[in-house]
Structure 1
């Protein structure tokens, strides 16, 4: 019997919490402003990525570019794929639900959405626990669940964050107000 959506959300929640706590403990002076779970078009592998103000400044200097060129790029972060030891055990649970490309299109779409909902639920739980800050501190972090080059990323960001946390993200990522 493959794991349910709730079981996937529970597993991602535990793994992402452990990975994020490690990240925050290993970089106690950093001011993190972006934390995301990224997955492929098959929604199998979850990878954690994050940016801090300090890491952005250092990486922009290293690459010789403006910080805005990297600011919202999960792939350019030195923290991309952080905490793999925590997230790796979750992958077989997603794989146990089957290969998306073997399903008819409508079933594959439904399965893909289920997997993303589980990831979004996990990040929402971490937020409710205060992992991304509380009060005004929470307004300085953008939380996301992303699939590169797929629709729906902006909508998940909007659901996962208080509006005040999204001011810079909307401006800099060119996200229209009506999204």
Structure 2
């Protein structure tokens, strides 16, 4: 059976909720400013990474890695929760096995799932509220870069310093 969009959203929301809660619990005193779900251009099931101000301050060249998910000490976290979600993504047709509009539709569905899960968790307050939330950047990124990343960032984040800094960094 092919998992539906709703199935994927539900599973990803639960997995990210558990992963981020565990990340925060296991790292008291860390001020997280970047939390991202990443996927390559094939839109495979996503991985979760994060950065904190404290971890960034330990780097000799912080500007080079400020938004680099693989360079973070919190790269690819919550694997025990996200691995089953990736299996659900893999149960759907591969984006590049499809042609034309069908390929585009599957790609869009997968990114919409990531964005919907993050938006749901944001509405629950997982990433903070008020001013604290405006200092946390939450992303659904296609890596190593995609024209849609900036649009998703704008939809997922309130106007504020975190979003503005990221857009300036990437020229978005």
Q: TM-score range by the shorter chain?
A: over 0.9
**Superposed displacement of residue 170, structure 1:** 2.5
Contact 2:134–2:158 (CA under 8 A) maintained in structure 1: yes
- Could you report, residue by residue, the CA deviation over 1:1-57 in whole angstroms, capped at 9, with x for unpaired residues? 311111111110000111111100011100000000001222123110100001111
**Superposed displacement of residue 171, structure 1:** 2.6
Aligned to 1:75: 70
Q: Which runs of 5+ in 2 are unaligned?
A: none
Aligned to 1:166: 163
Instruction: Give me the whole-angstrom Cα distance separating, in 2, the residues matched to 1:97 and 1:35.
Output: 26
Contact 1:68–1:172 (CA under 8 A) maintained in structure 2: no
Does residue 104 of structure 1 match 2:89? no
Instruction: Give me the whole-angstrom Cα distance separating, in 2, the residues matched to 1:111 and 1:2.
Output: 12
Instruction: Give me the whole-angstrom Cα distance separating, in 2, the residues matched to 1:124 and 1:35.
Output: 13
Instruction: Give me the whole-angstrom Cα distance separating, in 1, the residues matched to 2:168 and 2:89.
Output: 34
Does residue 150 of structure 1 match 2:146? yes
Q: CA RMSD in A?
A: 1.1
**Superposed displacement of residue 118, structure 1:** 0.5
After TM superposition, the structure 1 = structure 2 runs for residues 16-165 of structure 1, keeping only pairs within 5 Å, are: 16-58=16-58, 60-61=59-60, 65=61, 67-148=62-143, 149-164=145-160, 165=162
> TM-score, structure 2 length as denominator?
0.94
Give the secondary structure class of the aligned counterpart of 1:162. Answer: coil
> TM-score, structure 1 length as denominator?
0.91
Q: Which runs of 5+ in 1 are unaligned?
A: none
Which stretches of structure 1, 4 residues or longer, exceed 4 Å deviation after superposition?
none
Contact 2:150–2:167 (CA under 8 A) maintained in structure 1: no
Contact 1:74–1:80 (CA under 8 A) maintained in structure 2: yes
- Could you report, residue by residue, the CA deviation over 1:99-136 in whole angstroms, capped at 9, with x for unpaired residues? 22221122111101001100100000110000110011
